[in-house]
Amino acid sequence: MYDIPHHTQETAVTDVKIKAKDVQVYYGDTHAIKDVSVEIENNTVTAFIGPSGCGKSTFLRCLNRMNDTIDICRVQGDILIDGEDIYDKRVDPVQLRAKVGMVFQKPNPFPKSIYDNIAYGPRIHGMARNKAELDEIVERALRRGAIWDEVKDRLQAPGTGLSGGQQQRLCIARAVATEPEVLLMDEPCSALDPIATAQVEELIDELRQNYAVVIVTHSMQQAARVSQKTAFFHLGNLVEYDDTSKIFTNPEDSRTESYITGRIG
């Protein structure tokens, strides 16, 4: 049905990075995530697909406890990263978020310079001992964000002065600058042109070598191109979770099939 690039088919020897079990999320009385259990593997790109409002972002935000900031949001069930329950009382969400980076649906650069946008995370985590090291981290992150060439001459210019697509790549660079182990991306390419999208997808594939990457996307092609595993959400339920090749060629559930062929959504 879709072209599956060659490299996605080689299923590497994988270990489970994130394990979610019976997760329920409520926004006040709204039951946004119903009974979701999923195992996200290391060195794998996992795609979350599904119609708008089905809870992809909500579930993604559970994985780095970003939902803690929403007063009315309640999360039940277990989410383990490397076997540790991230909702355990002893877990400091701040420490967790340094380990689980996030790129948001809307580009949200800090209203600071491009340099400071990237340097902020490494700075607060004490990752650089001096200015030279910090410069190096910033350059590496911007290169991985596929934006270095465009901004290398104006690192002191405001990050908010970039175009939407450049801002999103800046945010990706910012997220990888802190060297997370898991990278959560909420529709990272929705504001990007095809060339930048291709660059980001290449980046995602590269990040897979070291991290577990979870990406929410509305583009079936993108999910097929970059991911090895795909999870299909519908109305708060995880309908189907399997190898990407399986989901896109031979889905088990009729809802999945309808969605990826464009009949519901």
Ligand X SMILES: Nc1ncnc2c1ncn2[C@@H]1O[C@H](COP(=O)(O)OP(=O)(O)OP(=O)(O)O)[C@@H](O)[C@H]1O
- Is the Cα torsion angle 88, 90, 91, 94 positive or negative in sign? positive
Residues 42, 44, 46, 57: which binds ligand X (CB under 6 A)?
A: 57
Measured from the CB atom, is 57 or 117 closer to Mg ion? Answer: 57
- Minimum Å gap between C-beta 92 and ligand X is 23
CA-CA distances (angstroms) from residue 17 to 42, 68, 213? 5, 21, 10
Gap between the Cα atoms of 187 and 207, Å rounded: 16
Residues between 125 and 144 that touch ligand X (CB under 6 A): none
Measured from the CB atom, is 119 or 260 closer to another protein? Answer: 119
Q: What track of x and - describes contact with another protein for positions 162 through 181 (by CB under 8 A)?
A: ---------x--xx-xx---
Residues 44, 55, 118, 251: which binds ligand X (CB under 6 A)?
A: 55
With contacts defined by CB under 8 A, name the span among 97-105, 136-144, 147-155, 234-242 that binds another protein.
97-105
Q: Does 251 bind another protein (CB under 8 A)?
A: no
What is the 3-class SS of 12-56, one letter each residue? Answer: CCCCEEEEEEEEEEEECCEEEEEEEEEEEECCCEEEEECCCCCCH
Q: Does 64 bind ligand X (CB under 6 A)?
A: no
**Residue with smallest beta-carbon separation from ligand X:** 57
Q: What track of x and - describes contact with Mg ion for positions 18 through 57 (by CB under 5 A)?
A: ---------------------------------------x
Q: How far apart are the first and last CA of the chain?
A: 18
Q: Does 53 bind ligand X (CB under 6 A)?
A: yes
Give, as one character, the DSSP assignment of residue 155: T
- CB of 242 closer than 8 Å to CB of 230: yes
Residues 36, 41, 47, 97: which binds another protein (CB under 8 A)?
A: 97
- Minimum Å gap between C-beta 58 and Mg ion is 8
Residues 3, 10, 29, 71: which binds another protein (CB under 8 A)?
A: 71
Continuous H helices in 64-193: 93-99, 114-124, 131-144, 148-151, 164-177
Residue 223: which residues within 8 A CB-CB, separation 6 or more?
A: 47, 49, 215, 217, 230, 244, 248
Sheet holding 16-27, edge to edge: 30-41, 16-27, 73-81, 84-85
Q: Does 74 bind another protein (CB under 8 A)?
A: no
Gap between the Cα atoms of 125 and 146, Å rounded: 23
Instruction: Report the interface residues with ligand X, using CB under 6 A.
Output: 27, 30, 32, 50, 52-58, 70
Instruction: Report the interface residues with another protein, using CB under 8 A.
Output: 64, 66, 69, 71, 94-95, 97-99, 101-104, 106, 108-111, 120-121, 124-125, 158, 160, 171, 174-175, 177-178
